[in-house]
Amino acid sequence: MQTRWKCPNGCGGVLAPTRPRKDDVRRYCLPCSKKTGRLVERFSPAMEKKRQKRAQVSKEKTKKKAEKAREAERESYTVEGVDMRKELKRVVRLPVFGGPKGKLAKRPPHLEVKNGLRGGMLGLAYGYSNRIEISKNQRGYGPKIAKDTLIHEVAHIYVDRVMGRDTSTHGPTFNKIYRQAYYEYFKEHAPGSATGPWRNTQDRWCIA
């Protein structure tokens, strides 16, 4: 394929292959080269345009790929439409957990969102390894239960790690912290009482 090669100084162009050999004289404007004492390279506007277009396409492809990867990552942390990473950042900063400068905000638990948890639990907390697991399979309970599960597990981490209390898993200390966190987060009281039916629901959610 032939294309027009032009001199950068505006001399007349010549037709030459799109990929001329390195030593093809048509790559250079000889009159200009003679004048300046240095080889003056011709360029092909059509090829230049193509190259720019290719670069643009490749740039867009890279961008799209990165966007897709980000979207996939966000999706992997999304439970019932809630981005758990985002919510976790909010939850660990709650006043009950010490606020933005508290121990929990400074060293938040490691979050894992899994397709299913053992025993069909909605969430699990591991105080000793500072880790929480949230199930993606929330049985369609909706965003509020998903957020509630997160608050519940973070409350376990706080009681275990920060308070260092050796209490029963869903005992009075846990319930006090959990209910306070729930209130600070949702601006309403958690339904039920520590010993009521809600408590049983929690037990089914989480064996910590």
CA 116/CA 133 separation, integer angstroms: 10
Stretch that binds Zn ion, among 28-36, 57-65, 95-103, 113-121 (CB under 5 A): 28-36
Q: What string of DSSP letters covers 23-60? A: T-GGGB-HHHHHHHSS--B-B-HHHHHHHHHHHHHHHH
Instruction: Candidates 16, 29, 79, 145: give the one binding Zn ion (CB under 5 A).
Output: 29
With CA atoms as reference, report the closest residue to 83 among 71, 74, 92, 93. Answer: 74
Nearer to Zn ion (CB atom), residue 1 or residue 12: 12
Nearer to Zn ion (CB atom), residue 72 or residue 97: 97
Find the shortest distance in angstroms from Cβ 21 to Zn ion.
20
Determine if 46 is a binding residue for Zn ion (CB under 5 A). no
Instruction: Candidates 79, 84, 92, 208: give the one binding Zn ion (CB under 5 A).
Output: 208
CA 102/CA 62 separation, integer angstroms: 39
Nearer to Zn ion (CB atom), residue 113 or residue 206: 206
CA 113/CA 88 separation, integer angstroms: 12
Residues 97, 91 contacting (CB under 8 angstroms): yes
Nearer to Zn ion (CB atom), residue 1 or residue 119: 119
Residues that bind Zn ion (CB under 5 A): 7, 9, 11, 29, 32, 206, 208
